[in-house]
Chains A and B, each alone.
Chain A
């Protein structure tokens, strides 16, 4: 029956040969090559849960009076957007669990992207010919951060309002073009009624479409260029070893999707995230401490908390202090990341194409640099949550912040030096042991494919 359908299809489309070549495509087996896939499946969950929520969310700032199930807000004036989030959370069947799954999936999406980025960096997978895909991946990270912030902002609760106000101030602080940028993104000086509809349209149309398109390009390039592989027996820049797309890789991948879904569903069911009803509606005259962005913006929040309060004057122009930690710093970080494949060429003086990865200890400088940056970012992440940590630990906040300012300089230096020393030690030990390097056993189907 199935065979006859397949024959019927093949006699008309001549698809069998094409399909076979696709199914025989080889992917190398290593756990660290599946990190991006976790992100991919988190994105799938985001689209599914987001579509459900879009049926109930009202992206409007119209003033309404709440009459739902949450007693402490009954009779309170709020935006229609916030009211629809409360309605979704309390009065729509399964609304809350879907909303929480969406938010957890977003946090995990960004976490998986970050883990994936670290793997690429520490194994130098960005080298020729993959510089372009590295840049597409970075763009995906930027878009994901931006879209996460938009989703956090459109709930219009007091927390998201506080975040929006910070985002607005950062954009406004950009010299010369700041005011125009804010009018484009927010539709006026916030709070203004044009903001929520604008952010909503960007959150559900523009950014997801861009992300989906770039994921397609990202995967197509991996397909076209073949995947990289770790060094080992029978592996060189012209041979790839791994499992076929069908059946082994497909089944593995479906299994991973189910696991990602299970973890997100469990978090959505058992751990509360963004309880908007506790925060209350956004009002311009209210504010709260412990107001943090979601984790992926925590490093910028931390930079803004640690950066000294200095306004810079350029002739008659003022550059507000938020510009440096809030805009310039992340901009420099991303520009350096985009340029890194080319910076690496200058460090390693290696301009050839590579399909076999470079292990972290084979590039001590890059590894030390990466570890130092990670240490710096870790200090910033802690600083971003310093008031919450101060309350939880019962420590005075001002004292903690001073300490973190010193750590922001000391931690990267120390980490970098230690990482460099460790890499050098491993490299020396390995270079002595190279003649007797043990062959890695392969039990699965080996397929050698010539690189185009």
Chain B
């Protein structure tokens, strides 16, 4: 615990809540890091902006930190989510800002847009749900159980790369992009009509 407070709390907060509203940049929330092996790997490798602790701490110290994070800091356990249930919960609790396509939405009164959730890891999403970075509301265990958080994470991870047939999805921008494409189609046909009227030449 001493080592955690000295080395990690600067960026991840004394209880692992994370320090930045932009959770991708610095000190992400650790509340879903319930696997000591994953924490150990992160310490050794130093993903993104994180320093490589294998030069700073001994192996025993790193093991101690991993155990501390996985057993004391981590409060959410992501196992056994239910994809469909996660979809329902997502539409009810999250889609109002992040859109059902999980690609973010524009918000008038918040001052910032809800970010896209593509490329976000499961632990990051789960931590953000509990912690509520920036203007996002917190969803404590009294609102969403661990199983419900795990379900929502499953759903988001699915929709990041959904099985979505029917051709180019236009990044799921919806009717705005579709209308634009439709007008490209109309202009293409006007071009064809001009070509027909020219006698089909040139």
Contact = CB atoms under 8 A, between A and B. Distances in A.
A263 B188 contact: yes
Interface string B169-202: 1111111111111110110111011101100000
A398 B111 contact: yes
B13 interface: no
Given A391-B113, A392-B173, A280 B87 contact: yes
Contacts of B95: 158, 280, 286-288
A169 interface: no
A131 interface: no
A96 interface: yes
B186 A295 contact: no
B36 interface: no
Contact of A283 (B91, B107, B188): B91
Interface string B15-39: 0000000000000000000000000
Contacts of A398: 108-109, 111
Interface string B69-112: 00000000000000111111001100111011101111111011
Contacts of B4: none
A108 B164 contact: no
Nearest to B184: A267
B183 A397 contact: no
B131 interface: no
A222 B100 CA distance: 47
B173 A272 contact: no
A278 B100 contact: yes
B163 interface: yes
B2 interface: no
A292 B176 contact: yes
Given A280-B91, A294-B175, A398-B108, A269 B167 contact: yes
Given A38-B186, A286-B92, A96 B165 contact: yes
B183 A111 contact: yes
B100 A396 contact: no
A34 B167 contact: no
Given A76-B88, A267-B181, A391-B105, A278 B189 contact: no
Given A272-B164, A388-B106, A31 B196 contact: yes
Interface string A144-188: 000000000000001100000000000000000000000000000
Contacts of A296: 179
Given A115-B190, A279-B100, A34 B91 contact: no
A160 B190 CA distance: 30
Majority SS at the chain B contact face: helix
A283 B92 contact: yes
A30 interface: yes
Interface residues of A, number: 75
Contact of A107 (B87, B103, B113, B179): B179
A377 interface: no
B21 to A, nearest CB: 15
B181 A271 contact: yes
B142 interface: no
B182 A111 contact: yes
B119 interface: no
B194 to A, nearest CB: 4
Contacts of B47: none
Contact of A35 (B92, B114, B193): B193
Interface string A81-94: 00000000110000
Interface string A263-282: 11001011111110111100
A290 B173 contact: yes
A292 B84 contact: no
Interface stretch (B48-56, B58-66, B154-162): B154-162
Interface in A238-257: 252, 255-256
B143 to A, nearest CB: 14
Contacts of A283: 88, 91-92
Interface stretch (A1-9, A66-74, A191-199, A430-438): A66-74
